[in-house]
A = this chain, B = another copy of it.
């Protein structure tokens, strides 16, 4: 999606917007590419007009391979296929971040089973496939595409991760939280790694957060629901102010049981959008690199924390910075 950012002002009175690219699943592969140095690609569809080409321009800047993007002909008005837009203001103090998602009728929401030759995609030495509940929630057909892709990935021995990332707006009028949870559970059962696993605990919690003390039990509960999952992970956040958050994480794996992530309290937050996705990227990097779950959690937590210090959805951090933060770097000047 194209992110429209009014800076320190508000959408409703803006006279200019800065633009960034973003989108839950995309943010993960962007972070893996630019911060962690892995080669990644995005599978999506865009309407072929100047706005779609702007999204391509931003994805190229993100270093992500664009060759798997399906370009859908533009009808000149967006009736048959649009590009997703996302207006988000970042909030300040007691004023929370606020988003207007304008992404119905997009080219990607019309992706259907069979549109992508997943065997071709996964036969080229791919090691990891990540998808989640935002893509799966775009339409009834995208849930099927996610299913098809995850099955193909597993056929090719590709590790699969899934992030439910529940967005109420996607499910309004289509069965709501219950239907979302049903789809998420159906898909997460094919995943080796589930990020945002707390989203599947008990009744679908949506935006309500679980206290840190209850996390162990909640992850255990999810582990029962997803018997094939090898790693369950989640971020933990308290929001006393839009600009100052407490930030942590936790995970569970078959091998290690429950593992708490590093706690970062009183984090100054410039723009929190995308921090959960940055967490996923760090975690996946750790798991791919075989660092052990505790270190992987540290990568995810630190990467997510740094993402909150810059505008836009995506990380501008380097691997060296993530590692310095993990080992307790200060905020002194480097020069």
Contact = CB atoms under 8 A, between A and B. Distances in A.
A11 interface: yes
A19 B172 CA distance: 30
A267 interface: yes
Interface in A302-335: 305-306, 308-311, 316-318, 321, 325, 329-335
A331 B53 contact: no
Contacts of A157: none
Nearest to A137: B77
Contacts of A167: 335
B57 A60 contact: no
B75 A173 contact: yes
A19 to B, nearest CB: 6
Interface stretch (A97-105, A228-236, A249-257, A287-295): A97-105
Interface residues on A, range: 35 or more
A12 B57 contact: yes
A241 B11 CA distance: 28
Interface in A34-62: 49-51, 53-54, 57-58, 60-62
Interface in A183-199: none
Interface string A56-81: 01101111001000000011111110
A223 to B, nearest CB: 27
A88 interface: yes
Contact of A270 (B8, B172, B329): B8
Nearest to A268: B93
Nearest to A64: B60
A128 interface: no
Contacts of A54: 11-14
Nearest to A89: B50
Contacts of A240: 331
Given A50-B10, A335-B167, A103 B78 contact: yes
9 contacts: A13-B57, A63-B66, A75-B169, A78-B103, A79-B173, A93-B270, A95-B310, A95-B317, A244-B268
